[in-house]
Structure 1
Amino acid sequence: MTLRKQFRAIVDQRKATTVPGAANAMFARVIEDLGFQAVYATGAGIANMHLGAPDIGLTTLTELESAVAGMADAVSIPIIVDADTGFGNALNMSRTVRRLERAGAAAIQIEDQVFPKKCGHFSGKEVVPTEEMVQKIKAAADARHDQDLQIIARTDSRAIEGLDRALDRARAFIEAGADMTFVEAPTDVGELARIGSELPVPQVANIVFGGRTPDPGREKLAEMGFSIVLYANAVLQAALKASYDVLGALKADGSLASVAGRLASFEERQRAVAKYEWDALEERYRVSK
């Protein structure tokens, strides 16, 4: 079974499968190592970690493609790719889908924000007309070579036009050819329940620590009918907190003695990047003297 077929099978179960986000290949490896069934290439995380910038539409397609290709080389689980607005109009969307498909995406998430976009949990968002997004979805669906590549259409209109309008948009996106939809930033459990029950295709929920959407837990989200639950930047937030704590202690104490227990060992670090596999390849291709 290909990774794209594998992802479709996960989605069809509608069991609220937990999918953590990664901004780089090493974090993707950790996610796979812990037994998660898929990984989310997070646009916000890539902007934060690769650019040191907020999620306000600064990342380019080339930068995203490079990050996804690195993850695809490193892991053997499906990758959901956050492709923001597709980096332009319907023509740009076609190119974006082709390149991300070649890079190794199992699913591509696109959204209806005005470019440059903002994080879905920021204020001040704007969305394009429904008709414009419909054409971009059609372009995305037409551009893929593998029909198992899932097109996830996200709407950010809940924060602007209300939930009813967001659901209407999602229905239009489904009619245009979206395989899944993603109503971003619902504000309570009742709204989550409506999304899960009123839209006919598989749904994505996005749980952001400190964000707008509550976290009722995987079991309740499965009962609501969600297929995928993203924790897009839990890894990033954990790494950032640990970095401040460890480096703060190093700055204050001049050593790592007080925080040694918070550091991965040298051996753990090498295992995380599969050094043993590279050692085996080196031995296999060693030139005899």
Structure 2
Amino acid sequence: MSEQVVRFEYQGAGNERLDKVLAAHFPEHSRSRMQGLIRDGFVQVNQNVVTKSGFMVENGMTIEVCLPSVQPVELQAESIPLKVIFNHPDVLVVDKPAGLVVHPAAGHESGTLVNAVMGLIPDLEGIGGELRPGIVHRLDKDTSGLILIAKNERAHRFLQDQFRLRQVKKVYLALVDGKPPTPNGRIEAPIARDPARRKQMAVVSPGKGREAVTEYFTRETFAQHTLVEAHPLTGRTHQIRLHLAFIGCPIVGDTLYGRRKVSLALNRHFLHAARLTVRLPGEKQPRTFESPLPPELEQVLQQLRKS
């Protein structure tokens, strides 16, 4: 099933919330499904991306919705080795390797992190949504490092609230091509779906997408590359990759937003979720978890230090 774009004009007796308008126009879909499409940037009002479900739609406004293809997937528990960093009664902290997809989707119906976690904790199914049981946040397929999995609905809501309120501190290590304009800096550039390539994201003009903020700090410099520490203050899809490319320093190995020809011998992009600070259910003080660079990334740095 290919994606479908639906455009219609709102004709109502009064102003109405955007998610309610969509739920009424698409009765075959749930309101939560519509809220997810709004949140992920698939909805435009008068040709502007709107990402707030409570946006008030006025009579005569034009609404455009991109409905991505959906392929039902029956979740299966699989015996896939996982590096568990911390096993809490309510939460699992996993060190995800590069190449492992987080949750099932079209083209990745099995062999995902979700399938692996279900092999460890079979009763996860159904938490947080049918295809993402227990998943609180995401990492791209080729991004390695720390990821949280909630073991029950209460923990899932507790952790999601912390992400929503920006109380979770995430630190990534990225090797980029070139040098940033300043050794340390703050990138404020809104992000939305790329209108020309709907499966990709893009930095857009203010008011056209969702707020996105990343702070970065130079950790090591090389002749043609820089190792930076990135702190995403918001959690947009592909945020760090887009923001670093936006300042002229794409991540090494990122052929989607960076250079088509990889500058170093690496079969993945050099982005690693190295540190995560979060408060767990039932605890008053936050915990910090750390993950060292995988051997293939550490080897790249060692080679650069010798050259």
Q: What band does the TM-score fall into relative to the shorter chain?
A: under 0.3
For CA contacts below 8 A with separation 6 or more, give which structure has more relative contact order: 1
More helix by share: 1
TM-score, structure 2 normalization: 0.24
TM-score, structure 1 normalization: 0.25
